[in-house]
Structure formats: C-alpha cells, structure tokens
Amino acid sequence: DGELRLWISLPTLEDVAVDVGETEVRLNQKGRAVVLPLPADLAKDVHGEASAKFSKKRAQLSLTWPLRPESSAYPTSEVRTKETKEVSEPSPDSSPPSDAPAFGSIWNKNSWHWEEKNCLDLATQEVRAALEKDPGWKHVPALSGVSFVMKDISVRGDASFALRKGKRILCYELSATLAWEGRDEFGCQLGVKGTAKVSGITPEDDEEAQVEIDVSASSKGGPEAKAAGSWMQGQGAKLISRALRPELLREAILAAE
C-alpha cells in the first residue's frame, strides 16, 4: 500500500533512545543496543523519513516509512540521475536545520534526536479543565435549569512527548475519578450526588473513554433529584466521554506545552 510498517513491543519509552534510519532501527537503553534491520527487499524502496507513534495501552511503538512509487522496468535517464543524486548526496535529515522547533532539552535544542519528556502534570491539568469547564453542566434544559458541579478530580496514568526531528509525538494513557453533585437553578444543593470513574483516556481516535457513574440521592431530594441522577447516568456519562475526545484533549495538551 505504499508504506512499510514495523511494530516493536516496548513497555515504555523512558530511558530508551530510538534512532530510526532508512534501513534499520536502533534501540539503546542503559548501554545496551539492539539493531532491527528492515527487510532488504523493502528497505531499498524506502523513500523518506519514518513517522512514529507509541501506544502505552498496547505497549507498542509503530514506525511507518513511505515507499518509493513504482517505476517502469527501464527507468529514464532523468530517473537514473535523480536516484544517483539521492545516493551520492548526504541526507538532509542528517543534521537539524537552524529553524527547527526548540522543544527539547539543552542537549537536544532543536528536538532533532529522539527524546521523551514527561507531561503528566500538563495532561492532568487539561483533563481537569475539560471536565470542570464544559458548558454542558450548566443549567441543563431537560432538567429545568439544574446544574452539576465536578470536583475532587484525580488523574492517574502516563503521559509524555516523544521528540524527533523537530516533531512532537504525544502519548498518554490516563484514568480519572471525580465527585459530582446536582444543584437547582438557584445554586442550592439538590440532594443528589455521586462519583464517576473514567478509563481508557488515550489519544487514539478510534477509542472512546469509558465512564461509570454512581448516584447517591437523598430521601428528601424528591423527583427532581431522581431525574438529575438518571440524567447523569445517561447523558452525563456521554458528556464526560465527549469532553475527553482525543482530538480535543490532544490539541489542548499540545497548545499548553
């Protein structure tokens, strides 16, 4: 399909230096090096740098190289000249350009070499902001103006930036717990509260966060409190999952870094 893909099982990228070339992948960790050569019959057709994606949930590093477009059996002189030039001239990727984005540490000023930076605090901050500030909690029309307050939000898991060749690859796998309570249109306690557990918070576009809602209603709450609890277990769970959609949370973390 015009791409060469390689999956490497890795529990974490911390303290792992990854050097990706056009013919091999080299892993270095605490003085130990592992070299993974690409299949020779495919490596010769690699055309361009690899893109990388690390999934903590799958404990897997995915690398994708573009392959050279298929050419005729008898290439023209123009094609032969271009191929000769590509082989003889140094790769432009061998050194960082002067204007490469500076996200790396002192030794990696241009973010050109593979480096992993922990960003759990930043991810935690954005998860809390997404849950607390979502306008969907305020004056819910279906409940005659009832609002919900999210509090005591706790986030656990791993989150990091992988830097290479001026690019940032964001990886995170998080879970969260929180307490919530319902309030009437005047801001007074409604007599209904509960907790929520959120798991599977990742940057994968095809994976939605899973939400479990517990409800505790006071016997004095009445039908309004009961309706609020039912709404929270249904629409409230969907609202939490939607607030943590990968495309929204991913962009928020990248923008805040």
Q: Is the pTM of this model over 0.75?
A: no
d(CA 197, CA 210): 8
d(CA 228, CA 172): 32
C-alpha distances out from residue 52 to 11, 61, 64, 172, 217, Å: 16, 7, 7, 14, 48
Q: Where are the domains of the chain?
A: 3-94, 118-256
* Fold agreement (3-94, 118-256): no
Instruction: Say what the alpha-carbon torsion angle 7, 114, 56, 171 is, to the nearest 10 degrees.
Output: -120
State in words which class domain 118-256 has. alpha beta
Query: pLDDT tens per residue, the chain (257 residues)?
Result: 577 788 888 777 777 778 787 778 887 777 677 878 887 777 778 877 777 887 877 778 888 888 887 644 444 444 444 444 444 444 444 444 444 455 555 445 555 556 677 889 999 999 999 999 888 999 999 998 999 999 999 999 999 887 766 677 888 999 999 999 999 988 999 999 999 999 999 988 777 889 999 998 876 778 899 999 999 999 999 999 999 998 889 888 888 76
61 phi and psi angles, rounded to 5 deg: -100, 125
pLDDT at 90: 41
d(CA 134, CA 238): 12
The conformation of residue 221, written as its DSSP 8-state character, comes to: S
pLDDT at 114: 61
Assigned token pair, 162: 């992988």
- The amino acid at 125: Q
**H helices present in the chain, as ranges:** 40-43, 77-88, 120-132, 222-231, 237-243, 246-256
pLDDT at 112: 55
pLDDT at 111: 53
pLDDT at 156: 95
Buried/exposed code over 154-191 (b: 16+ C-beta within 10 A; e: otherwise): ebebbbbbbbbbbbbbbbbbbbbebebbbbbeeeeebb
pLDDT at 57: 74
pLDDT at 219: 63
pLDDT at 54: 78
Fold designation for 3-94: Immunoglobulin-like (2.60.40)
pLDDT at 227: 93
pLDDT at 110: 56
